[in-house]
């Protein structure tokens, strides 16, 4: 029996097309459609109900030690009011889930996990937390909305004190009053745009949604469903559990080495990852150069040699190109390599490009620091630094500059 | 082409859908313009033809546009 978020009736009344996802009933799109919702987030703002996500509290004197034992990243250096991405690994180095840890205090950590993996994660965490740590699944009492897009700050400032909004990427503020409701606001998201994730108690969800929708009216805010959530994250080259990583894939193979800190004394999976060494296959970004749309679970070839499989793929609504991510043999994983993907029986040519496919422009109205570590594209070439990577200029017609092999709609095919 | 066989497929952002041939016959011509501008199917569905089929046999009773609209309204 599928579950409903507190906003189910709202989605139905707004004409949302409801589908089952991770045991929940959620809108895949509204009457506006995926393309319009996607573009709204890229140019103005979109609002997502992500209340299905799981939230787990770690508390106690050994909370930090438990977090560091369970998760690949190093949280000893995480400050209060900051968040950090990490992977929950199994003993073989495979990924159980990807997640974000929020530090509430030295003895209090708030961990946000994928809805589909919530029960599995909590069982693993409870079984492996150190004595002295209490692990509590608090998901059911919490609703989460994501407000994403360049107008997000303007919209939120109409119903919340702007001086209380988080100023830095991957930072958060607790007990922000948003339209009278008590919220945790973090500057984060899964779209590749500037935006916020807003947590409140389940009882306040409907009020909060309505307040943000109202505040967003003059700014072109659209409600957005799961369809746009997927195309947005894929355009931003963000991995999705079950696609780019699973329990048979290590974080290194998924090009998430930036969040695996081998310098830590230990964490579950560390020994296996060290023993395996450099991965033999790695995640890359592809753009189709021939006609066709590449999707997930399609075989990738260089000539007759099968070198890997696609993990996600779509026609990117904003970039207007068919893009995909794949995990391929590391010897072929160089930017610019031409390959072919078997799309329903016929071969579509494709080329490896740098990730992320899309990167948003700096927002003038807030201090928006890009995270220092980006997804590792797994090649030996120098990773472009934030300051020298040309960005999508949202103000002036959304032209993506091509730099070397970077994605560009004007690029000759 | 046999009635019920896949004539072509149509791709959207999220899904790929097969279009089934309504009749048995031979495909004599294909609308090449659609490959470059598939949105013609959304924008001008009654003008954007997909294929010309000749030597048609096994014709069933098909709904015309008005009858189809009436059918959808009943659903």
**Domain for residue A397, yes or no?**
yes
Verify whether the Cβ–Cβ distance A291 to B35 is below 8 Å.
yes
Q: pLDDT tier at A377 (50, 70, 90 boundaries)?
A: very low
Verify whether the Cβ–Cβ distance A34 to B35 is below 8 Å.
no
**Domain for residue A334, yes or no?**
yes
**Domain for residue A264, yes or no?**
no
Question: What average pLDDT does range A358-362 have in this prediction?
Answer: 86
| The pLDDT of residue B37 is above 50 | yes
**Domain for residue B62, yes or no?**
yes
A340: domain CATH number? 2.40.30.110
**Domain for residue A257, yes or no?**
no
Mutate to test the interface with A, among B6, B13, B32 (most CBs of A within 10 A): B13
Least confidently predicted of A79-93, A259-273, A351-365: A351-365
Provide the whole-model pTM.
Answer: 0.85
| Residue finishing a domain among A99, A120, A135 | A135
Same domain, A383 and A311: yes
Q: How far is B13 from chain A (nearest CA, A)?
A: 6
State the total domains in chain A.
Answer: 3
**Domain for residue B63, yes or no?**
yes
- How many other CB atoms are found less than 10 A from the CB of residue A328? 24
State the total domains in chain B.
Answer: 1
Q: Which residue of A has its CA nearest to B13?
A: A315
| Residue finishing a domain among A91, A110, A135 | A135
Q: Which residues of A touch B19 (CB under 8 A)?
A: none
Which among A122, A101, A123, A121 has a CA at the least distance from the CA of A112? A101
Name every residue in A having a CB less than 8 A away from some CB of B.
28, 34-35, 227, 230-231, 291, 293, 295, 314-315, 317, 344
**Domain for residue A243, yes or no?**
no
| The pLDDT of residue A365 is above 60 | no
pLDDT in tens, A13-43: 999 999 999 999 999 999 999 999 999 999 9
Same domain, A24 and A95: no
**Domain for residue A129, yes or no?**
yes
Show the 3-state SS of A109-177.
Answer: EEEEECHHHHHHHHHHHHHHCCCCCEEEECHHHEEEEEEECCCHHHHHHCCCCHHHCCCCCCEEEEEEE
**Domain for residue B40, yes or no?**
yes
Q: Which residues of B touch A293 (CB under 8 A)?
A: 11, 16
Verify whether the Cβ–Cβ distance B9 to A344 is below 8 Å.
yes
Q: Which residues of A touch B13 (CB under 8 A)?
A: 34-35, 227, 231, 314-315, 317
Mutate to test the interface with B, among A28, A294, A314, A318 (most CBs of B within 10 A): A314
Same domain, A113 and A192: no
**Domain for residue B61, yes or no?**
yes
pLDDT in tens, A110-136: 999 999 999 999 999 999 999 999 999
A113: domain CATH number? 3.30.70.1400
Whole-angstrom CA distances from A90 to A71, A111, A279, A337 are 10, 17, 17, 33
- How many other CB atoms are found less than 10 A from the CB of residue B29? 10
**Domain for residue B70, yes or no?**
yes
Query: Is residue A269 within 8 Å of A90, Cβ to Cβ?
Result: yes
Same domain, A212 and A130: no
Rounded Cα–Cα distance for residues A263 and A110 (Å): 24
**Domain for residue B17, yes or no?**
yes
Closest residue to B14, CB basis, from A34, A291, A344: A34
Q: How far is A213 from chain B (nearest CA, A)?
A: 26
Least confidently predicted of A226-235, A301-310, A363-372, B49-58: A363-372
Closest residue to A35, CB basis, from B9, B11, B13: B13
**Domain for residue B1, yes or no?**
no
List Cβ neighbours of A270 (8 Å cut-off, separation of 6 or more). Answer: A72, A262, A264
- Who wins on pLDDT, A405 or A157? A157
**Domain for residue A253, yes or no?**
no
A14: domain CATH number? 3.30.1360.120
Percent of chain A clearing pLDDT 70 (strictly above) = 88
> B20: domain range?
6-74
Rg of chain B in Å (alpha carbons): 14
Query: Is residue A66 within 8 Å of A88, Cβ to Cβ?
Result: no
Rounded Cα–Cα distance for residues A169 and A194 (Å): 8
> A323: domain range?
280-413
Q: Which residues of B touch A297 (CB under 8 A)?
A: none
Q: Which residue of A has its CA nearest to B9?
A: A344
Same domain, A403 and A324: yes
Q: Which residues of B touch A231 (CB under 8 A)?
A: 13
> How much is the pLDDT for A386?
35
B51: domain CATH number? 2.40.50.100
Question: What average pLDDT does range A319-344 have in this prediction?
Answer: 96
Q: pLDDT tier at A50 (50, 70, 90 boundaries)?
A: very high
- Who wins on pLDDT, A376 or B33? B33
Per-chain mean pLDDT for chain A: 90
Rounded Cα–Cα distance for residues A52 and A114 (Å): 8
| Residue finishing a domain among A135, A167, A193 | A135
**Domain for residue A298, yes or no?**
yes
Closest residue to A231, CB basis, from B11, B13, B35: B13
């Amino acid at each position: 029996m599928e579950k409903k978020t507190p906003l189910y009736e709202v989605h139905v009344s707004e004409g949302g097309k409801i589908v089952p996802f991770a045991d929940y009933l959620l809108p895949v799109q509204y009457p506006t459609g995926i393309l319009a919702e996607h573009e709204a987030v890229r140019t103005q703002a979109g609002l997502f109900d992500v209340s299905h996500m799981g939230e787990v509290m770690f508390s106690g004197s050994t909370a930090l030690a438990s977090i560091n034992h369970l998760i690949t990243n190093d949280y000893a250096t995480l400050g209060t009011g900051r968040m950090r991405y990490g992977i929950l690994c199994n003993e073989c180095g495979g990924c159980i889930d990807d997640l974000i840890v929020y530090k509430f205090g030295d003895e209090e950590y708030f961990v946000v996990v994928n809805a589909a993996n919530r029960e599995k994660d909590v069982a693993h965490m409870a079984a492996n937390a150190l004595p002295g740590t209490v692990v509590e699944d608090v998901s059911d009492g919490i609703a989460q909305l994501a407000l994403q897009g360049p107008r997000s700050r303007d919209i939120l400032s109409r119903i919340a004190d702007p001086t209380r909004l988080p100023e830095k990427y991957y930072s958060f503020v607790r007990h922000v009053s948003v339209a009278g409701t008590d919220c945790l606001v973090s500057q984060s998201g899964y779209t590749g745009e500037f935006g916020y994730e807003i947590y409140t108690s389940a009882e306040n969800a409907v009020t909060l949604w309505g307040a943000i929708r109202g505040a967003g009216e003059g700014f072109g805010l659209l409600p957005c469903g799961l369809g746009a959530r997927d195309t947005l994250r894929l355009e931003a080259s963000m991995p999705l559990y079950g696609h780019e990583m699973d329990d048979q894939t290590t974080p290194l193979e998924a090009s998430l080495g930036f969040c695996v800190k081998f310098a830590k004394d230990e964490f579950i999976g560390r020994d296996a990852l060290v023993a395996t060494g450099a991965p033999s296959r790695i995640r890359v970004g592809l753009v189709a150069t021939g006609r066709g749309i590449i999707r997930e679970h399609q075989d990738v070839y260089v000539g007759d040699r099968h070198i890997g499989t696609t993990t996600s793929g779509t026609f990117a609504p904003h970039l207007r190109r068919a893009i995909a991510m794949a995990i391929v043999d590391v010897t072929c994983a160089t930017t610019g390599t031409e390959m072919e993907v078997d799309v329903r029986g016929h071969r579509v040519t494709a080329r490896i490009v740098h990730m992320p496919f899309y990167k948003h422009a700096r927002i003038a109205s807030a201090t928006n620091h890009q995270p220092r570590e980006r997804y590792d594209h797994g090649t030996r070439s120098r990773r472009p630094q934030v300051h020298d990577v040309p960005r999508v200029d949202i103000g002036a017609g959304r032209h993506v500059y091509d730099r070397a092999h970077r994605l560009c709609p004007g690029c000759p095919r | 082409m046999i009635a019920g066989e896949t004539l072509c497929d149509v791709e959207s952002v999220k899904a790929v859908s097969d279009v089934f041939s309504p009749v048995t016959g031979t495909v004599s011509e294909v609308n090449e313009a659609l490959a470059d501008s598939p949105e013609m199917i959304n924008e001008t569905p009654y003008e954007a033809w997909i294929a010309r089929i000749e030597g048609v046999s096994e014709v069933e009773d098909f709904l015309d546009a008005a009858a189809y609209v009436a059918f959808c309204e009943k659903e």
